[in-house]
């Protein structure tokens, strides 16, 4: 039952910052539905994002994550349901609400013709901030993004990770109460992902509310206080990462690979609570991995990996292993 200690302490730290719980929720969504033709892309969703928390929206491709975000921002109109973003009914109050929101979109939308600093100044003007106001903020934002000294660099000269961090800094230009991030680390290498996570943790530490979508379960597990798993337009479960793992999956996993897998599978069923074969891999879910491992040690042709269960296991159990396009 030992979880990785780093994650445990990270969550203890986040739970400690519960002072915002009494504030009004920055985003509440009730009975939200959006149809394209006959298909309900968002199907009667209820969602409340608590102030000061990092809330993750997880789901396979096409689950309705981005559509939910676009609805919340008042960019598209719902077919049914209510959205309140920072006290404003959406989309009617979109202008006022978006003035206090920062958005990190999925696709890079930095201005390639501008320098790093000019990108921030230009974006600030869209919020009605004057140059002096933004100039004051720029050094802090560059620092935050790990781009100190890069103010006059052209955007084209930045690496993918730097561009992402600049996009994050850009989203903070208006000192938003809520930051919405659509797959903030997709396409980044591990070093760059860790830098983005660091930035997001600092935002959480400052009491900002974060709403992020992601494919990466480890990302959600590391960052999020609360997670909603969304599939086919519906929220299928919601809770903290640890609650979800505890409620939906056995705590230990042994993954087994090898040619002799088919024969071995028969005895594995007696040794663990649940077995699932996907392609060439057998996943054994169990509360006590010792008997499985002892048995595996007698079969040297089989390779195995023993690990604690994680959010990905929950996710795959709940949304299935089929490919989504």
Footprint on this chain of another protein (rule: CB under 8 A): 36, 73, 75-76, 94-96, 98-99, 101, 103, 105, 107-114, 118, 122-123, 125-128, 174
Residue whose CB is less far from another protein, 28 or 106: 106
In whole angstroms, the minimum distance from the beta carbon of 110 to another protein comes to 8
Q: Which contacts qualify for 197-205: CB closer than 8 Å, 24 or more apart?
A: 197/222, 197/223, 199/144, 199/145, 199/146, 199/165, 199/168, 200/54, 200/168, 202/144, 203/172, 203/179, 204/14, 204/17, 204/52, 204/53, 204/54, 205/17
Residues near 288 by beta carbon (within 8 Å), at least 6 away in sequence: 252
In whole angstroms, the minimum distance from the beta carbon of 73 to another protein comes to 7
In whole angstroms, the minimum distance from the beta carbon of 11 to another protein comes to 30
How many CB atoms neighbour CB 144 within 10 A? 18
Tokens of 141: 């934002």
Residue whose CB is less far from another protein, 29 or 41: 41
The torsion angles phi and psi of 88, rounded to 5 degrees, stand at -100, 140
Residue whose CB is less far from another protein, 156 or 266: 156
In whole angstroms, the minimum distance from the beta carbon of 293 to another protein comes to 50
Residue whose CB is less far from another protein, 86 or 245: 86
In whole angstroms, the minimum distance from the beta carbon of 98 to another protein comes to 5
User: Where does residue 244 rank: exposed (0-12), middle (13-18), buried (19+ CB within 10 A)?
Assistant: buried
Residue whose CB is less far from another protein, 78 or 282: 78
Residue whose CB is less far from another protein, 75 or 236: 75
In whole angstroms, the minimum distance from the beta carbon of 46 to another protein comes to 23
């Amino acid at each position: 039952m030992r979880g990785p200690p780093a994650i445990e302490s990270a969550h203890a730290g986040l739970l400690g910052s519960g002072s915002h719980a009494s504030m009004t929720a920055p985003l509440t969504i009730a009975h939200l539905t959006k149809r394209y033709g006959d298909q309900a892309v968002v199907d009667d969703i209820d969602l409340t994002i608590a102030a000061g928390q990092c809330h993750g929206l997880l789901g396979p491709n096409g689950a309705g994550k981005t559509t939910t975000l676009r609805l919340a921002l008042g960019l598209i109109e719902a077919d049914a349901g209510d959205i309140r973003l920072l006290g404003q009914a959406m989309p009617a109050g979109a202008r006022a609400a978006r003035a206090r929101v920062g958005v990190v979109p999925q696709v890079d939308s930095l201005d390639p013709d501008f320098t790093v600093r000019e990108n921030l100044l230009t974006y600030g003007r869209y919020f009605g901030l004057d140059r002096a106001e933004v100039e004051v903020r720029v050094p802090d934002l560059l620092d935050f993004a790990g781009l100190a000294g890069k103010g006059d660099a052209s955007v084209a000269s930045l690496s993918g990770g730097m561009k992402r961090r600049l996009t994050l800094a850009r989203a903070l230009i208006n000192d938003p109460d809520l930051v919405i991030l659509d797959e903030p680390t997709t396409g980044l290498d591990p070093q760059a992902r860790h830098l983005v996570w660091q930035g997001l943790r600092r935002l959480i530490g400052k009491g900002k509310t974060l709403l992020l979508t992601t494919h990466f379960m480890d990302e959600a597990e590391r960052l999020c206080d609360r997670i909603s798993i969304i599939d086919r337009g519906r929220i299928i479960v919601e809770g903290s990462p640890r609650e979800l793992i505890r409620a939906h999956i056995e705590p230990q996993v042994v993954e087994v690979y090898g040619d002799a897998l088919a024969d071995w599978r028969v005895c594995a069923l007696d040794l663990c609570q649940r077995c699932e074969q996907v392609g060439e891999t057998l996943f054994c879910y169990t509360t006590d991995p010792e008997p499985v491992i002892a048995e595996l040690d007698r079969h040297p042709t089989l390779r195995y990996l023993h690990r604690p269960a994680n959010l990905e296991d929950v996710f795959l159990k709940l949304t299935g292993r089929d490919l989504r396009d």
